Amino acid sequence: MAQVLEFKLPDLGEGLTEAEIVRWLVEIGDVVAIDQPVVEVETAKAMVEVPCPYGGVVTARFGEEGTELPVGAPLITVAVGERAPSGGGAEEARTESSGNVLVGYGTSEAPARRRRVRQEPVAGAAPTAAVNGRAGVPEAEDGPLPVISPLVRRLARQNGLDLRELTGSGPDGLILRADVEYALRAAPRPAATEAPAPRPAATAAPGEIRTPLKGMRGAVADKLSRSRREIPDATCWVDADATELMRARTAMNTAGGPKISLLALLARICTAALARFPELNSTVDAQAREVVQFDHVHLGFAAQTDRGLVVPVVRDAHARDAESLSAEFARLTEAGRTGTLTPGELTGGTFTLNNYGVFGVDGSTPIINHPEAAMLGVGRIVPKPWVHEGELAVRQVVQLSLTFDHRVCDGGTAGGFLRYVADCVEQPAVLLRTL
């Protein structure tokens, strides 16, 4: 007989804990193949099509379009083929699946989970102690905690609950959100420490428009707030004559071959400057009270899209030439506009380049992209009066600003970095010394 298997919203990576259902790709009764996308969800980082690791007939869907689900919540149930004659239950049913968690996100097999040792009761033996209000059983203590959902971990951590004291009710002893909530309800708490009742959703007063801070907008708000709360930042800036840089770009693009973008040239300058001032290519481990410096530059760049601000990351930017950088910037920018950036393409940056000049503004004080240590801002390049070789002339002038974490360096280092960037903008030949 067929067996119905439940497919839960998988961990989409990079600490994401929930996703919003944007569009169902299957109906109840549809036949799905292994690894066929069944739903399109929006996380705080990207739009993702989620493939189902089971092949069979869809028997149920959980959640309407627009519903937000936590990681580990049921998505669909699928009736798979005949069970193996050995009658091994779910173990045999798993052979009807690919084992993939999320295609394209670096996982080719489902993560191994600790198997709980479930023993039959022995006559005359004392009953095992109840754990989190439910009958407990002896279990193996080696291996990782049987918890998949980051939401479950966060809920336990926020309430001071030790997950090792819980017995999971899910498959193979998997600890579910319901187990944590059950334990929290059963635990006695002093009245003074009880959490206040959740506030009801506010209704808009006349003349107000209320927009929920969720999805990407909510993630951006949380990250910016955390940056301001945790990082003691400072900003320095300088005006630079970008005339020679613009001439160099024109000469490169008239020589044939792929076009070189201005952003790519600025990125080359950034990576050269970080090689001289590596303190700014770092992060602060607050718990260990250590500055962690990187030997690679994963360069983030701010891009505005219809879905909001995103910061795609160019991996190993320090090892790329201007042509390669131009191509990667173009690819990631287009993916950002179409909402197809993966979580891996939006995380892991070590330094950010922010070209806010495209908005027609001269200057800004950027907020550092937590947990990085610095961000270079570039304003618009416009003709301005400038003293050049002792005479007043009209030159292409740009304002450069550097916001940096004052814990990783002092003003001398930050000023040295910014001055080197300005020198390269004014005299691109300076870069030849670092090639």
Instruction: List the catalytic residues.
Output: 406
Q: Nearest CA to 179 among 163, 194, 192?
A: 163
Structure tokens at 426: 């004014």
Residue 145 has phi, psi (to 5 degrees) of -65, 140
Nearest by Cα to 303 from 355, 242, 362, 247: 355
Return the amino acid letter for 421: V
What is the spatial distance between Cα 409 and Cα 234, in angstroms, rounded to a whole number?
11
Residue 175 neighbours by CB distance under 10 Å: 25
Looking at residue 386, its amino acid is: W
Cis upstream peptide for 206 (omega within 30°): no
Closest CA to 316 of 281, 342, 284: 281
Residues 6+ apart with CB under 8 A from 325: 261, 263, 264, 267, 268, 314, 317
231: Cβ contacts below 8 Å, ≥ 6 apart: 284, 368, 370, 405, 407
Rounded Cα distance between 266 and 196, Å, is 50
Q: Residue 409 and residue 392: Cα distance in Å, rounded?
A: 37
What CA–CA distance (Å, rounded) separates 229 from 405?
12
